[in-house]
Amino acid sequence: MKKSKFRTPLLQSAAVLGGVIVLALIAASSGSGSEGGGFLAILAGIGNSILFIIGLAIGVLISIALLIGVFLAAVGMTSPEQASQMYTDLKKNVSLNLLACKTWCSYDNISGNWISNDDYNRMKQELSELQEQNAILNRRVEELQADNDQLKTRASLK
């Protein structure tokens, strides 16, 4: 599929979402009238807009957390092992992102081991299993090549 096929609907939905947010900001910041004049109304509107954006960010984070929880629960109904693996990967990725954000925000160039011992042991076990499978496949390839050579020599003798 072409990537440009999805670009127009994505831009349209972003424009609609942006328009709704702007209208909500205008509605949230409009006061019922005050004696302070236009300057105080502008300051009140800016304050209300900041509060609205903070509330919107908190709401989006809660919604994403709920969606992830529902997804993991649905996966857990079909395959509990896979859901458990997804959850540990999610925890690892979130902790890595928080650590990267912390390092970026504090300008500390901390270089450390970001992998837990459980993850390290799991990866080590997967690596050994893959090496065993690779050795088995290499032996099989050598056997097939030997069989192929034997067939070629038989065919050349006939």
| Higher-confidence position of 137 and 44 | 137
Residue 123 lies in a domain: yes
Q: What Å distances lie between residue 68 and 8, 17, 61, 81, CA to CA?
A: 27, 22, 11, 17
- Tell me whether residue 16 is in a domain: yes
The boundaries of the domain holding residue 142 are: 117-158
HSE-CB for 48 with a 13 A CA cutoff? 15
Which pLDDT score, from 0 to 100, does residue 55 have? 93
Residues 15 and 74 in one domain: yes
- Decide if pLDDT at 112 tops 60: no
Distance of CA 1 to the CA centre of its chain: 23
pLDDT tens figures, 7-50: 788 888 889 998 888 777 666 566 555 555 666 666 777 788 88
> Does residue 42 sit within a domain?
yes
Residues 6+ apart with CB under 8 A from 75: 82, 83, 86
Average pLDDT over residues 66-84: 92
Same domain, 110 and 133: no
Residue 70, both tokens: 């529902």
**Position 1 in a domain:** no
The answer to whether residues 89 and 105 belong to one domain is yes
Same domain assignment for residues 74 and 84: no
Judgement on whether residues 100 and 54 belong to the same structural domain of the protein: no
Q: Is residue 3 very low, low, confident or very high in pLDDT (cuts 50, 70, 90)?
A: low
Count of domains forming the chain: 3
Q: How far apart are CA 118 and CA 87, in angstroms?
A: 14
Q: Establish if 101 belongs to a structural domain.
A: yes
Contact status, residue 114 vs residue 99, Cβ threshold 8 Å: yes
Q: Note whether 67 and 108 are same-domain residues.
A: no
Contacts of 21 (CB under 8 A, 6+ apart): 56
Report yes or no: 83 and 75 within 8 Å, Cβ to Cβ. Answer: yes
Give Cα 87 to chain centroid, integer Å. Answer: 12
Are 50 and 100 members of one domain? no
Residue 45 and residue 93 in one domain: no
Is position 63 within any domain? Answer: yes
- The tokens of 133 are what? 């499978």
Clarify whether residues 109 and 88 are in a common domain: yes
* Amino acid residing at 20: V
Q: Is residue 20 in a domain?
A: yes
Identify whether 43 is part of a domain: yes
